[in-house]
Structure formats: structure tokens, C-alpha cells
């Protein structure tokens, strides 16, 4: 019996480091980032249709349900790439990853749709082809296809698999506001970047399974160009460190902040305290690379 529905986990991503190395002629920027997927995830269900229609339903009423939704774009792009123009899909999204948080929630949803459709249609595309297709839809999607721990370069589409991060716990908190990605890139363009992440040091620490070494090198260049107010981001970082995080950092262009703990008890205590102030607070573990 042919399976017509697949459910995929769309895992959140965190930036263990984030560096911007150059502005490209096409208007994008060259990035160098160590990325990590974590167990916090959305649930994506995909059902094939016998016509060319693509629909999406979600538990968040304010998310778009048309071509503005990356899940819809991903489905249409997949059918076009696979030469299945008379196929369609019904997509269901249960959101848990906060939106506009720098955690790749939309990108991960799009990647999960690509994986689900590939599975449903007999795997016509290779992993590399899925990543290339994802890159045409968004900079984070290639990484989100398989996730795990990776170095992402270029716009994010040049991926090098890295050793898994050692066992640890992530506490993630998103303030009530979001940060404008175009505004931060604009601010970055107007000033020289004085400090860059020690990306190679992080890679070496991953290879030696040195969690403290990784945490000592957490760095995101966008933290230097954040608006002065509100000051929740440095406040959350300080709280995480006060509760015993080995390191804390804003992910992506924000506004979510995470801390890395080697103690579950300390992580639970930090989450409980932050949950008194913020509605989006999560405890997560590293998510290994998916086998595709």
C-alpha cells in the first residue's frame, strides 16, 4: 500500500558562532557560522494530492497560508524540480519554534517539507540536490535539511559536517520583541567589525569534545550592532551565566538567546526563572544529524 502522508520533525537551529566576512556583489553577505540543531521542533505533516494545489494549515492564526509561507514555496519548488507538475500537497504545521527569533523556524519547516515530499515520491532527489534546492529558497534551508553540527559558509549553502557537540543542555529564551534582520545588516555595513569569532578554535574544541572550550568561544558579530534598547538580550545572557551556563549567546539576528549547560539541574533552574519573565522559554538538547 502506497504511503500518502509523512510527518517530519522540523528542528530549531542555533548559531554557536556567527561571522560576516564580506559583502557580495549580489547584495548578500558571506557568512561563516558554526550551526547546531536542537531538540525543540515543529511538527510537519505532508499529504500528497492528486492535483497541483498546495495548501497549508497551522496552529498559529497569523502565519500566512499562501505563497508567502516558505512551506508552500518549498512544496512547489520540489514538484517543479522533480518534474511532478501535476502533483500537490496538504501541509500541516504545528509550531513550537518561536517566529522571528533567529532559530530558523521557517527554514526548518521548509526543509522538512522537502524531506517529506522526497520520501513520499520515492526519493527522486539526492541529499545534495535537496540542499541545492533549499538554497534557492532561503539561506538556512540547506543546513536544516540534515542539521546536526556543521560549518556553514557562503550564504549558508556551503556546508561542512563537524563532529557532534558534546552532550549538554540548551536553555533558550526569546524576548517579546523581534529584531529586524535587514536593519542589523545595514548597521553592520556602516561600521567595521573589530572582533570575529574564533571559528577554528570552536572546530578544534568540537574535535576534542571540549565543551568548555566551545562555550568560551561563543560569539555573534550581530550583538555588536543591536539597538541600545530594549536591553533584554544582555539581561537574559547574564541570567543564564548567573545560573551556571558555560556560555551564552544570541542566535542568528535574534532575538532569542541561549545558554549551554553541562548540568541538567542548573538548566532546569535557569529555565524556570526565565519562564517567570518570558513566555517563550525552552529546555533542549543537541539534535544529531539526520540520515537522509
Catalytic residues: 13, 140
Return all residues near 255 (Cβ < 8 A) that are at least 6 apart: 100, 101, 102, 174, 175, 177, 178, 179, 232, 233
CA distance 245 to 263: 9
CA distance 26 to 19: 18
Helix (H) or strand (E) holding 149: strand 149-154
CA distance 220 to 197: 7
Q: Extract the C-alpha cell encoding 232.
A: 533584554
CA distance 49 to 83: 15
Return all residues near 5 (Cβ < 8 A) that are at least 6 apart: 45, 46, 47, 48, 120
Amino acid at each position: 500500500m502506497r504511503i500518502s502522508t509523512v510527518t517530519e520533525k522540523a528542528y530549531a537551529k542555533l548559531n554557536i558562532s556567527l561571522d560576516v566576512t564580506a559583502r557580495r556583489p549580489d547584495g548578500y553577505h558571506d557568512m561563516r557560522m558554526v550551526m547546531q540543531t536542537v531538540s525543540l521542533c515543529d511538527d510537519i505533516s505532508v499529504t500528497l494530492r492528486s492535483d497541483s494545489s498546495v495548501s497549508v494549515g497551522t496552529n498559529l492564526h497569523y502565519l500566512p497560508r499562501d505563497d508567502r509561507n516558505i512551506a508552500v514555496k518549498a512544496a512547489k519548488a520540489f514538484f517543479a524540480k522533480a518534474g511532478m507538475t501535476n502533483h500537490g500537497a496538504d501541509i500541516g504545521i504545528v509550531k513550537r519554534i518561536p517566529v522571528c527569533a533567529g532559530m530558523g523556524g521557517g527554514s526548518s519547516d521548509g526543509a522538512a517539507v522537502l524531506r517529506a515530499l522526497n520520501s513520499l515520491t520515492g526519493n527522486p532527489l539526492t541529499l545534495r540536490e535537496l540542499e541545492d534546492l533549499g538554497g534557492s529558497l532561503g539561506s538556512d534551508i540547506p543546513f536544516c535539511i540534515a542539521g546536526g553540527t556543521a560549518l556553514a559558509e557562503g550564504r549558508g549553502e556551503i556546508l561542512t559536517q563537524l563532529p557532534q557537540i558534546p552532550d549538554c543542555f540548551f536553555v533558550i529564551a526569546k524576548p517579546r520583541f523581534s529584531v529586524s534582520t535587514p536593519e542589523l545588516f545595514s548597521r553592520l555595513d556602516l561600521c567595521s567589525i573589530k572582533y570575529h569569532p574564533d571559528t577554528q578554535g570552536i572546530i578544534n574544541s568540537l574535535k576534542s569534545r571540549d565543551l568548555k572550550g566551545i562555550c568560551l568561544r561563543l560569539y555573534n558579530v550581530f550583538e555588536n550592532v543591536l539597538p541600545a534598547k530594549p536591553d533584554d538580550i544582555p539581561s537574559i545572557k547574564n541570567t543564564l551565566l548567573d545560573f551556571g551556563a558555560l556560555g551564552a549567546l544570541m542566535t542568528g539576528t535574534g532575538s532569542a538567546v541561549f545558554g549551554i549547560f553541562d548540568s541538567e539541574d542548573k538548566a532546569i533552574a535557569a529555565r524556570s526563572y526565565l519562564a517567570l519573565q518570558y513566555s517563550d522559554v525552552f529546555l533542549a538538547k543537541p539534535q544529531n544529524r539526520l540520515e537522509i
